[in-house]
Amino acid sequence: MRIIRTIPELHAARAEARAAGATRVGFVPTMGALHEGHLSLLRAARAENDVVVLSIFVNPTQFTDSSDLDAYPRTEEADAELAAAAGVDLLFAPDAAELYPAGYATTVRVAGPLTETLEGAGRGQGHFDGMATIVTKLLLAVLPGTAYLGQKDAQQLLVVRRMVADLGIPTRIAACPTARDQDGLALSSRNVRLSTAERSRALAIPRALEAAAALVAEGVHEVAPLREAASEILAAADVAPEYLAFVVPESLAPVESVTGPVLCAIAARVGEVRLIDNVVLTPTPVPTKE
């Protein structure tokens, strides 16, 4: 595995790989502090490509909360070991001056409900502006055939897909399922900041999602009782959600009943740590008469 710090080095490595016959390039963009969720993305990339590129860059422009940026875990040595073991060929780990040199002035913005609701409302438009811009820059630097993103950041996935389609970036975006710990908590680099007591409270988030899914499986299709059940579980753990949303997965438009796939998404602060999670609810098929 080669560790690469600059875009020209990355281009050279990519050209070298192509000259050596590598045609399929898979890419996993991350902010480091790698966990099993990232590793599952890398496994998907490894299985489908000749060259696997991993980027690690804690992108300052997508943090609208500077204390979150400061506290974001940085574990580059451990990350490099995990990456090498996962079969990464090129680890792109630039510093901020490489990606935002003096005079830098360009932003990629996806407008509308995809960025204004949920995370956009909670973290501010600057979050998705920063994210869309860095992902555009990384995709143009790596030029992968496929980029692998996690379903845990469902809205990020939607925004990236919209931006890639709109600008015509020649990359396919593949979504991978949310990885969870044995206790059900969605894996996140921020989880290490939870105390034991906070972690136990945080489990109310996946349990609330599971409860909604279980009710849908039992034939409850109105959102009101789903919301009530999920809210009660969160409240019992003293977790006040920033949002508990039931929305169309492609448009993020709110729905009142589960007549097709519905994204149920939660954001909540537990202690100092802001957590997000989601599940796609699918209505039980109406039994046909025999």
Q: Which residues bind a second copy (CB under 8 A)?
A: 7, 11, 103-112, 114, 132, 136-137, 140-141, 162-163, 166-170
Instruction: Name the packing angle between helices 204-217 and 223-236 (round to 10°).
Output: 150
Catalytic annotation present for 221? no
Nearest distance from C-beta of residue 110 to a second copy, angstroms:
5
- Tokens 């908590």 sit at which residue? 185
175 is in an annotated binding site: no
38 is in an annotated binding site: yes
- Please identify which of the residues 11, 38, 127, 221 carries the catalytic annotation: 38
CA distance 26 to 46: 7
Q: Which is nearer to a second copy, 115 or 189 (CB)?
A: 115
Give whole-number Cα distances, 265 to 144, 269, 283, in Å.
Answer: 29, 14, 16
Nearest distance from C-beta of residue 48 to a second copy, angstroms:
21
Nearest distance from C-beta of residue 137 to a second copy, angstroms:
6
CA dihedral sign of residues 43, 4, 192, 266: negative
Side-chain-side CA neighbours of 261 within 13 Å: the count stands at: 8
Q: Which is nearer to a second copy, 162 or 199 (CB)?
A: 162
Q: Which is nearer to a second copy, 167 or 280 (CB)?
A: 167
Nearest distance from C-beta of residue 163 to a second copy, angstroms:
5
Q: Which is nearer to a second copy, 156 or 178 (CB)?
A: 156
Q: Which of 37, 35, 26, 43 lies closest to 79 in space, CA to CA? A: 35
Q: Which of 277, 256, 254, 253 lies closest to 265 in space, CA to CA? A: 277
Catalytic residues: 38
* Residues annotated in a binding site: 31-38, 62, 150-153, 156, 179, 187-190
* Residues annotated in a binding site for ATP: 31-38, 150-153, 179, 187-190
